[in-house]
Amino acid sequence: MVNRLRIAIAQQNFMVGDIPANVAKVIHTAERARDALQADLVLFPELTLTGYPPEDLLLRPGLQKRVQEGLEMLKSVTGIGMVVGYPEVAGEYQYNSAALIASGGIQAVYRKQHLPNYSVFDEKRYFEPGEGACVFEIKGVKLALSICEDLWQPGVMARAAAAGAQVMLNLNASPFHINKWQEREAAMRARLAEAAMPIVYCNLVGGQDELVFDGQSFVMAADGTVTQRAESCVEGLYVAELESGEQVKPVPATMVEPLPVEAAVYEVLVLGTRDYIEKNGFRGVVIGLSGGIDSALTLAIAVDAIGPERVEGVRMPSRFTADMSLDDAEAEAQALGVECHTIAIEPAFEAFLELLKDEFAGKPWDTTEENIQARCRGIILMAVSNKKRKIVLTTGNKSEMSVGYCTLYGDMAGGYAPIKDVPKTLVYRLAEYRNTISQVIPQRVIDRPPSAELAPDQRDSDSLPPYDILDPILEKYIEADQSIEDIVAQGFDEADVSRVAHLVIRNEYKRRQAPPGVRISRKAFGRDRRYPITSGYK
């Protein structure tokens, strides 16, 4: 006789720290899974009740009290089993746990065994590792629990199989980086070599400061075939059906194909920006529009995130601003339906030069005067932000941030940096991708040589190697941690590589003062890459 077990995969967006709201969302989702989808069980992501990552909130005694209150509320849900993640305190230890809640109580608890402590993860700061398998039975099918990193490492799958498991349920908070979906599915296939059983993989979705969780939950058969895959960057409730006969097999269902890189990254930038704005309660955003490609892309991201009526652009021309830059900024705002104002910085710039004339006497024009212009703009944007309760989105990219081609308290001033982890060459590709949806970035902005327009006839290439040379060097030096010698051996000019490495090291102090921004790479500045500011390392 063939039975069917219906598991609802709750790919949901939870708010870190807001346990009452998260509990209410779990209850609503579980009731919908029971009533509308006739599910037997609903599987939620890792640390469902607290959101992920809760960081040092886990050290506050009051958090655990709210978690316990939330678990008690969940026991009132009837007619469906729920697997929820939560921080469990047992004696003097805290665990990253998952509980099966059914029939008015907690029926089983699993404690995460492999605690990641690399890249953006700090779980050993908060949790102790668990041990042993957790297997329970629903409608004759024996299900095991695991949490995220557990299935990136050997052992847990084999122990579950030895305990009689026929299906592995995996709760995840797996953040996005480019092509991460391929790594997840490859990691799950590697575990099938230990124990061949279907895997139901539920991933978190949503933005949390720098991290974006992209969802793309899936079901994998015992032979490694993906039989069902959810959408990226959207919440959803997906039913995975499992047929149990001689073997347990997933029933093929909706298969959403992964997006091309540019589309995937753009979705993540929009989601991360939207959630930072909405979860922090900002009324809207203000962006300095230079007529360049970085501010044009940031404007499009902001509009796609929260709508044009909540986005304001400000043009701030100087004596060096080209007419085409003003025209292009205006065209971008009009194409996206954004209100745009013009505030010239020349009066403020002149006032500062007058104030500083005695200090500057006898000294030639240099980057000091360029930075004063950038800081005039920063003051204007922050004034608009304060008065209108709108957050300033900075427009700097990863290439500039890496080598310090940016001004403290100038173009770095703001609350969030959507493209902070996007190399300049990818900025161009994303702009072209966004124009395939609707033409919002003038082609001239994409084609013209980039310039800060802080000095006569200025070009980025006056100060930096061309971006098609700079970005590969940065990727190898920052993300792959390759040495200068290793990079030069791959055909790059030694003078370029040495100069770039020097600039990266020298500008750590600037990056430490930069606003947070969406992480899309394997190693973003901030949580990923923690280098000392003061260092004698060469």
Specify binding-site residues: 118, 174, 180, 288-295, 371, 395, 400, 510
65 included as an active-site residue: no
User: What is the sign, positive or negative, of the torsion defined by CA atoms of 319, 323, 325, 328?
Assistant: positive
CATH number of 249's domain: 3.60.110.10
Same-domain check for residues 320 and 232: no
Same-domain check for residues 101 and 34: yes
Interatomic CA distance for residues 255 and 375, integer angstroms: 50
Residue 224 has pLDDT above 80, yes or no: yes
Same-domain check for residues 175 and 243: yes
- Please give the pLDDT value at position 453: 63
Task: For 339-350, write each residue's pLDDT tens digit.
Answer: 999 999 999 999
The answer to whether 34 and 80 have CB atoms below 8 angstroms apart is yes
| Sequential DSSP letters for 199-244 | EEEEE-EEEETTEEEEB--EEE-TTS-EEEEPPBSS-EEEEEEEEE
Same-domain check for residues 241 and 272: no
- Please give the pLDDT value at position 455: 65
> In this predicted structure, which of 172-181, 247-256, 415-424 has the lowest mean pLDDT?
247-256
Range of the domain at 378: 263-464+507-511
Q: Is residue 20 part of a domain?
A: yes
Q: Of the candidates 7, 1, 33, which has an alpha carbon nearest to the alpha carbon of residue 241?
A: 7
Cα–Cα separations (whole angstroms), residue 364 to 286, 433, 489, 515: 34, 43, 40, 32
46 included as an active-site residue: yes
Q: Is residue 530 part of a domain?
A: no
- Please give the pLDDT value at position 498: 95
Q: Is residue 313 part of a domain?
A: yes
The answer to whether 168 and 136 have CB atoms below 8 angstroms apart is no
Specify binding-site residues for L-glutamine: 118, 174, 180
Q: Is residue 493 part of a domain?
A: no
Q: How confident is the model at residue 323 (pLDDT cuts 50, 70, 90)?
A: confident
Q: For the residues 426-441, what does the mean pLDDT come to?
A: 97
- Please give the pLDDT value at position 294: 95
Q: For the residues 108-115, what does the mean pLDDT come to?
A: 97
Cα–Cα separations (whole angstroms), residue 123 to 45, 116, 119, 175, 414: 16, 6, 11, 14, 30
State the distance between the two ends of the chain, measured CA to CA, in whole angstroms: 69
Specify binding-site residues for ATP: 288-295, 395
The answer to whether 41 and 80 have CB atoms below 8 angstroms apart is yes
Same-domain check for residues 238 and 270: no
Q: How confident is the model at residue 467 (pLDDT cuts 50, 70, 90)?
A: very high
Q: For the residues 88-102, what does the mean pLDDT come to?
A: 96
Task: For 160-181, write each residue's pLDDT tens digit.
Answer: 999 999 999 999 999 999 999 9
Same-domain check for residues 198 and 67: yes
Catalytic site residue from 88, 123, 134, 148: 148
Q: Is residue 153 part of a domain?
A: yes
Interatomic CA distance for residues 377 and 394, integer angstroms: 11
Interatomic CA distance for residues 266 and 261, integer angstroms: 8
Q: Is residue 525 part of a domain?
A: no
Total number of domains constituting the chain: 2
Same-domain check for residues 190 and 278: no
Q: Is residue 151 part of a domain?
A: yes
Residue 1 has pLDDT above 60, yes or no: no
Q: Is residue 470 part of a domain?
A: no
CATH number of 353's domain: 3.40.50.620
> In this predicted structure, which of 88-97, 239-248, 377-386 has the lowest mean pLDDT?
239-248
Mean pLDDT of the chain: 94
**Domain end position, chosen among 220, 236, 254:** 254
124 included as an active-site residue: no
Catalytic site residue from 25, 88, 112, 233: 112
Q: Of the candidates 452, 471, 474, which has an alpha carbon nearest to the alpha carbon of residue 463?
A: 452
Task: For 16-69, write each residue's pLDDT tens digit.
Answer: 999 999 999 999 999 999 999 999 999 999 999 999 999 999 999 899 999 999
pTM of the model: 0.94
Same-domain check for residues 342 and 225: no
